[in-house]
Chain A
Amino acid sequence: MKALMSVGALVGVIGLLLLVGMIFDVVPANTVRLVEGYMPMQMLTELTFFVAGFAGLSYMLSSMGMPLPRFWQGVGFWAFILLYLKYRVYPPIPFSVRAMYGTVSLVAVFMWVSSNEEDWKKFKQPILNVLDAQSGGNKMLRYAYLFLLPILIGGFTYNAMKPKSEEPIELRTVHPAPPASTKVHGKTYVLQTSQNPYRVNPEGKYDQEFTNANIVEQGMGRLMKPNANPWDEKNTGYLKYVREGGEIFFQNCHFCHGDNLNGRGLHAFAFNPIPANFTDPGTIAQLQETFIFWRVSKGGIGLPNEGFPWASVMPPWEQHLTVDEIWKVILFEYWHTGYYPRTWD
């Protein structure tokens, strides 16, 4: 038990030192890199490590005869959460959201310290001691608070009132409602009934099961199935069209959506918000192929009013591509990300 707790304590101390080092720029902020795509998991893991570390730390301290008072545990943990959210999480969370998380964790901390009468008393004790000021030290502290608190709060107010130019926050609909049908190159496509003409089996029949069996494998790296290489010369049907779609993608789309379809293309850094990440399970994996067909054909300009604030420079690709090319690109996008398009049933 003790050994386990010491390990926990060690993890906690190292973690804290790293975090503090990063905050004060002593340790480069990328010492433990946040890897895109795994960030939420990584953060949960990190937090688990921290909590385990703190538990170990507090156990070690109390077994060494210098237990940390409940009051400081509570305050310390809350401060840790706030610092972690501000300095570790990337991309940065806006203040309003951080304030919300801060409040929730404050409530949680209160629940923790007041879980029984005994604990709550212990938690309150240092506060009451200062208020009563029975000893010299506490008296000093009381006077210090008396002066510092107004100055501090006044300072915060001043800071808050100083004219600032922070970027206005924008929220937008990620998947606006599509129209019932869309007209591309003079032909009307009903979104509910249209099908990707290239999603076909070797017999040339529309076959979602067959094509889904030939997409890249989910899992690290998202690699193609060993026997389903679109660059195989002998291909007919689906995989041949995937390759043709890929060629179009890498001549038109990768500039923004990236070589790995993750929205990190050559020009992506210049745009706000950055282009859609197709490997994210929240984008094309959630949508029907016809929805993509509509979005690709009509671009940011074709977004309905709910697409507000229309922060998309995606061109209406019907300007540059034929209907066949658009369908092939869509085929490629699903192949390359390893997602199945959603179906209507």
Chain B
Amino acid sequence: MMNSSSRKAGVVAATAFGMILASGTFGIPLIGAEDMPEGFKKGELAPEPAAEMIEAGKRVYFTKCVWCHGVDGAGDGPGADRLWPRPRNFNQGTFKIRHTASGELPLFDARKPVPGQNDLFETVTHGLPGSAMPSWEGILTEEQRLQVLSFVTTQLVKDRKFTDKQSESQTILQLGDIKPIAATEESLKKGSELIVEKKCVECHGAEGRGDGNAFNLKDDWGFAIQPADWHKCWNFRGSRQDPYNVRNIFRTFSTGVNGTPMPSFADNTTVEERWHIANWVNFLCERDTDGKPLPIDPLTDKPKINFVVPSDPVEGEIPTDMENEAWKKAAKRYVAMGGQITHKPRNFVNRIDDIWVRSLYNDKVIVYLLEWDDRTKSVAEGKLPWAPTQVNLDIKEQDPKTGEEGSIASNQNKYRVYNDAIAIETPVKWKELPAPIKPRYLFGTNEQFPVDIVKWEADGSVRAFKGTGWDKDFEERDTYEENLKILKGEWINGRWYVMIQRPLGNKKDQDYDEDTFFEVGQYVPTVFFAWDGHNGDAGRKMAVSAFYYTFLNPPTPKETYIYPVVIAFGVVLLEGWVLTRRANKKKGKTL
């Protein structure tokens, strides 16, 4: 049943898409009336949902939504205090992603889930990436999604009324009728100038990494809020599971984000200017080396992950200049980061959710180039509350339920600042671990199979640790540091660029029982840790990756060129044999 309906939805979407294309080609851009911003048109309020829809929606709400959004829809469910951003407080009727003018209620009609005409339905369907709100498609039926929204809009939105013609109006962005402007070089250039002229960069930062005004922004409820990082379009709340679609950016820019400092630019930009800006913002989103959008994993709505970090061989010294040909050619891997929520202090809200890794090696050393977006450069102001090596601390962590005042959201920007940092963990004696090679636990298996951790901190220091088990303190290794070298450690416009060099390891100079030895053509399990000092990250309050593999690409062996020729020759012989045999058979002879 579901199959046919989703198939139908696909067809409908495809048709709609076709219509948009067609109308875009022939349509005339809408010029707004006198009091109307360009591209907008007056709309009608939708009628009140049927009573049985509301009643049915209550059942959906109390099964699925109440846990975060709370009994009264005030965004204060049991899950709320450990989330940032906090779940939406429905009471005020403030919704972020809309086709309606700034300050207006979003589009919602319980009768029709038409794409582009039902904002709340699309929010529930596609979720809000970058927050805890998941996509409910495939979990709740279309009907159920409309039901729960009927309940939310009539019962939980308390300060406003979706059907009140006196107080509410609908000024709708005619996104389907407006023809996009192609992202030509000229358009991009205009866009890059407009973001300065329109002061976008004041909050979003010079490179659009959301680092412009990282500390002073608040939402309507007084919680700290961060400007979007344009380089991670898959985290845009309004990306609708289609992050590289420029229309989503155009919409957000035209309507603004209600409840946040992001205003609508409909009044002071023309439609054309908005397309240039949207094109530029879309262009900034992380892409592959050919400039094509990254493939998005439909199961997670984040870039697809390749768990192998290849390292290319280099003759002689490894270049420290990122613009060097060797670095440009090296594969750049997306490493996804989650909060460390295994040990206290748990990191429920990790501000670093990905890093980008490249690697090169020569006959003596391997170098990792790590890049990650961090809105704030943090260098420790004071002493750590606990040693960076310590685990199993008896410390107070975020209370599960404190009310708004004590929640994680309200603590943002109030943390004591520690060092930003990054670390690479590799197992020692990984060759002796039973296959497939992976140490048993994140922080080392035991005394016999420890892990080797190399950590760089924003104060410029580099240290080496040994981990011997998930519940054991790290041991600081004071002799190994002289082998390590930081080739680069720079924070520019909201992004860290760090190059860490370590020896490949050999039995003459290093200790086989303490250091990881890298070997060409072998998979060396590798884990990355990252700390954001302004998030109060220190010790094991950090972001962690899954197990990746460092793979030292071997130079191509000679056999690779020889065997194919031999085999091709063999095929020729085989062909000859088949043909002779056939010919003989036809002649009546047998071989």
Q: Give the distance in Å from the alpha carbon of A170 to the alpha carbon of B525 in the complex.
A: 13
Interface flags for A35-75 (1: CB within 8 Å of B; 0: not) read 11110011001100000000000000000000000000000
Contact between A131 and B579 (Cβ–Cβ < 8 Å)? yes
Q: Give the distance in Å from the alpha carbon of A260 to the alpha carbon of B67 in the complex.
A: 11
Asked if A259 meets B134 with Cβ closer than 8 Å, knowing A38-B2, A272-B307, the reply is yes
A224 at the interface (CB under 8 A from B): yes
A31 at the interface (CB under 8 A from B): yes
Q: Give the distance in Å from the alpha carbon of A1 to the alpha carbon of B131 in the complex.
A: 54
Report the count of interface residues on A (CB-CB < 8 A).
85
Contact between B132 and A259 (Cβ–Cβ < 8 Å)? yes
Contact between B338 and A224 (Cβ–Cβ < 8 Å)? no
With a cutoff of 8 Å between Cβ atoms, the chain A residues found around residue B569 in the complex are 150
From B62, B79, B586, give the contact of A250 (CB < 8 A).
Answer: B79
A301 at the interface (CB under 8 A from B): yes
Q: Which residues 448-503 of B sit at the A interface, judged by CB distance below 8 A?
A: 470
Output the least CB separation between A33 and chain B (Å).
6
Q: Give the distance in Å from the alpha carbon of A163 to the alpha carbon of B11 in the complex.
A: 43
Q: Which of A80-88, A195-203, A280-288, A306-314 contacts B (4 or more CB under 8 A)?
A: A306-314
Contact between B138 and A311 (Cβ–Cβ < 8 Å)? no
Contact between B63 and A31 (Cβ–Cβ < 8 Å)? no
Asked if A310 meets B2 with Cβ closer than 8 Å, knowing A153-B568, A162-B556, A167-B308, the reply is no
Q: Give the distance in Å from the alpha carbon of A255 to the alpha carbon of B547 in the complex.
A: 19
A254 at the interface (CB under 8 A from B): yes
Contact between A35 and B138 (Cβ–Cβ < 8 Å)? yes
Asked if A259 meets B564 with Cβ closer than 8 Å, knowing A31-B13, A42-B3, A150-B571, the reply is no
Report the count of interface residues on B (CB-CB < 8 A).
98
Q: Give the distance in Å from the alpha carbon of A336 to the alpha carbon of B65 in the complex.
A: 12
With a cutoff of 8 Å between Cβ atoms, the chain A residues found around residue B10 in the complex are 31-33
Specify the main secondary structure of chain A where it touches its partner.
Answer: loop
A-B pairs, 3 with minimum CB distance: A267-B338, A250-B79, A270-B338
Q: Which residues of A contact B (CB under 8 A)?
A: 27, 30-38, 41-42, 45-46, 90-91, 128, 131-132, 145-146, 149-151, 153-155, 157-158, 161-163, 165-170, 216, 220-224, 226, 229-231, 246-252, 254-256, 258-260, 262, 264-272, 274, 299-301, 308-311, 313-315, 319-320, 336
Q: Which residues of B contact A (CB under 8 A)?
A: 2-4, 6-7, 9-11, 13-14, 59-60, 62-64, 66-68, 71, 77-79, 81-82, 131-134, 136-141, 144, 241-242, 297-302, 305-308, 310, 336-339, 341-344, 346, 348, 350, 353, 400-401, 434, 436-438, 440-442, 470, 521, 523, 544-547, 549, 551, 553-554, 556-557, 559-561, 563-565, 567-569, 571-572, 575, 578-579, 582, 586
18 contacts between A and B (CB under 8 A): A41-B3, A132-B582, A154-B565, A157-B564, A161-B559, A161-B560, A163-B557, A163-B560, A170-B436, A221-B144, A223-B59, A223-B60, A254-B132, A264-B299, A268-B338, A270-B544, A272-B305, A309-B436
Other than A224-B59, A270-B353, give 5 A-B pairs with Cβ distance below 8 A: A161-B564, A163-B557, A223-B144, A231-B66, A315-B342
